[in-house]
Amino acid sequence: MDERILLSMPQVAGTEQKYITEAMADHWIVPLGPHVDEFERRLQAFLGTGQPVVALSSGTAAIHLALVLLGVEPGDEVICQSLTFSASANPIVYCGAKPVFVGSEASTMNMDPDLLEEAIADRLRTTGRLPKAIIPVHLYGMPARMDRIMAIADRYGIPVVEDAAEALGSEFAGRKCGTMGRFGILSFNGNKMITTSGGGALICPDAATAQRAKFLATQARENRPYYYHEVIGYNYRLSNISAAIGCGQCEVLAERVERRRRIHALYSTYFAAATDITVQQNPGPEFNSNFWLTTVQLAQADPELVRQALAERKIESRLLWRPMDMQPVYAQAPCYGTEVAERLFNSGLCLPSGTNLTDEQILHVCRTLETLI
Ligand SMILES: *Cc1c(COP(=O)(O)O)cnc(C)c1O
């Protein structure tokens, strides 16, 4: 095998060029245009709940806008899963608010509902106030335990922002990730489920909120003949050309989800009887991960050494996200429950899961990995 096997490469659908050409021909190379509307319609149709979707310049921008729409301000606290990419938490700081991290439970690797409950109670006790929002993450596509998280959030009346950046197509109890909280966010960065070469989306609870999101994302221009601003706005809309790429990508989205699941099944079957490596599985019938990336836990081997050895054999793998409580920039932030996330990080590895990889290439990864653990 002479080609390098990469972790997760963007894959063109083939129809993107058609939509881009259409946009160019109609002079829609402006920020907003018909392809933005069409991309939003396609995402909304895929999610199937009727919730309006607002296309934005990134997933990070979508989290930031969700927090702005929830009125998160300096002095507020916002709860965020600790085992995640920093982009889940950074928008809390953009708002001048303080992140409070919550650790993971082992099976989903996502926010532990018991620790969430403990965190809320302790913040109430020590600060006298409730956190302003909760950001659970569906890491690597695996749904968080949304039934319990929503029950706790609802009991305290705290809105949930679902970070579904990696979980487009995943479901929990038959409901699509991103549609269960007050807001959901998606990412179309290069290596996510689908790409617009860079982009994101905000899944909104209703049309009025979506309208407000669009207003804030286009510099908060009031409807007057001159530029007039009552609130601070942002330049967060997705460009029409990017949306044209997204229109093409939407046509193969269902296929891509199936392919990621098939790749996960290949890994799972290969290592089914192994004792030194465990492939993450849906922990119950309610869970239906898109398996954006297949992740494994190694019983003995050091994941960093395995990663290096795989790289020498032209196979790209990646360590798990390093928990936020282990990041210097968040060293001062409170964190409830660090043990499980740190253990997952210390023995976890993400395996090549791109939809352009063949079954033969995945089996080659399996055979190579087997010799290294
Ligand atoms: C990619 C990602 C984001 C940010 O999305 P961008 O489009 O890159 O800004 C946020 N959260 C998680 C978990 C991600 O993987």
pLDDT tens figures, 251-275 = 999 999 999 999 999 999 999 999 9
Kindly state the average pLDDT of the residues 361-371: 98
What percentage of the chain carries pLDDT values higher than 70?
99
148: helix, coil or strand?
helix
Token pair in block for residue 168: 């487009």
* CA distance to 69, 70, 152, 246, per residue, from 212 (Å): 8, 11, 27, 23
Helical pair 359-370 and 303-312, crossing angle rounded to 10 deg: 120
Closest residue CA from atom 5 of ligand 1: 59
Kindly state the average pLDDT of the residues 327-331: 97
pLDDT tens for 3-28 read: 899 999 888 888 999 999 888 887 77
Distance CA 270, CA 266 (A): 6
Token pair in block for residue 245: 């790429």
Kindly state the average pLDDT of the residues 298-310: 98
Q: Do 101 and 340 touch, CB atoms closer than 8 A?
A: no
Residue 116 has pLDDT above 80, yes or no: yes
Phi, psi of 24, rounded to the nearest 5 degrees: -65, -45
Among 163, 238, 289, say which to mutate for ligand 1: greatest number of ligand atoms within 8 Å of CB.
163
169 Cβ contact partners less than 8 Å away, ≥ 6 residues apart: 46, 141, 176, 177, 193, 253, 254, 256, 257, 290
The letter for the amino acid at 104 is S
Distance CA 118, CA 138 (A): 21
Q: So what's the pLDDT on residue 69?
A: 98
Distance CA 124, CA 129 (A): 5
* CA distance to 1, 4, 50, 180, 364, per residue, from 47 (Å): 39, 34, 8, 11, 35
Confidence band for 2, pLDDT divided at 50, 70 and 90? low
Pocket of ligand 1, beta carbon within 6 A: 58-60, 84-85, 87-88, 137, 163, 165-166, 187, 189, 200
Nearest atom in ligand 1 to 87's CA: 10
Distance CA 145, CA 286 (A): 9
Residue 1 has pLDDT above 70, yes or no: no
Kindly state the average pLDDT of the residues 349-367: 97
Distance 104 CA to ligand 1 centre (A): 18
Q: So what's the pLDDT on residue 13?
A: 84
Confidence band for 324, pLDDT divided at 50, 70 and 90? very high
Kindly state the average pLDDT of the residues 353-369: 97
Residue 30 has pLDDT above 80, yes or no: no
Distance CA 129, CA 49 (A): 33
Confidence band for 31, pLDDT divided at 50, 70 and 90? low
Distance CA 88, CA 79 (A): 10
The 3-class SS string of 189-239 reads CCCCCCCCCCCEEEECCCHHHHHHHHHHHECCCCCCCCCCCCCCCCECECC
Phi, psi of 157, rounded to the nearest 5 degrees: 70, 30
Among 86, 138, 170, 189, say which to mutate for ligand 1: greatest number of ligand atoms within 8 Å of CB.
189
Kindly state the average pLDDT of the residues 296-301: 97
Q: What is the mean pLDDT of the chain?
A: 96
Nearest to 176 by CA among 257, 265, 65, 260: 257
Confidence band for 345, pLDDT divided at 50, 70 and 90? very high
Residue 361 has pLDDT above 90, yes or no: yes
pLDDT tens for 214-234 read: 999 999 999 999 999 999 999
